[in-house]
Amino acid sequence: MLLDGAATAAQIREELKPRVQRLREAGIVPKLSVLIIGDDPASHTYVRMKAKACRGVGIESETFALPHDTTQQEAEELIARLNADESVHGILVQHPVPKHLDEIRLLNHLSPDKDVDGISPASLGALVAGVAKFVSCTPLGIVELLDRYHIPIEGQRAVVVGRSIILGKPLALLLLQRNATVTVCHTRTRDLPSVTREADILVAACGRAELITGDMIRPGAVVVDAGYNRVEGRSGDVGDVHFESASQVASYITPVPGGVGPMTIAMLLSNTVRAAEMRLRTQ
Interface residues toward ligand NAP, by CB under 6 A? 138, 161-164, 166-168, 185-189, 192, 205-208, 211, 226-229, 240, 260-261, 264
**Cis status of the peptide bond prior to 262, with omega within 30 of 0:** no
76 or 198: whose CB is closer to ligand NAP?
198
Choosing from 50, 114, 133, 169, the catalytic residue is: 50
Catalytic, 50? Answer: yes
d(CA 275, CA 23): 11
Catalytic, 117? Answer: yes
Nearest of 180, 185, 169, 195 to residue 147 by alpha carbon: 180
Question: Which are the contacts of 83, defined by CB distance < 8 A and separation ≥ 6?
Answer: 91, 109, 110, 111, 114
d(CA 26, CA 29): 9
Choosing from 4, 31, 114, 117, the catalytic residue is: 117
When CB distances to ligand NAP are compared, the closest residue is: 164
78 or 172: whose CB is closer to ligand NAP?
172
28 or 239: whose CB is closer to ligand NAP?
239
Catalytic, 177? Answer: no
> What is the longest distance spanned by two Cα atoms in the chain?
56
Question: Which are the contacts of 210, defined by CB distance < 8 A and separation ≥ 6?
Answer: 238, 239, 240, 241, 242, 243
CB of 33 to ligand NAP, least distance (A): 19
CB of 89 to ligand NAP, least distance (A): 21
CB of 116 to ligand NAP, least distance (A): 14
187 or 282: whose CB is closer to ligand NAP?
187
Q: Where would I find the H helices in 26-63? A: 41-57
CB of 257 to ligand NAP, least distance (A): 9
User: Mind telling me the catalytic residues?
Assistant: 50, 94, 117
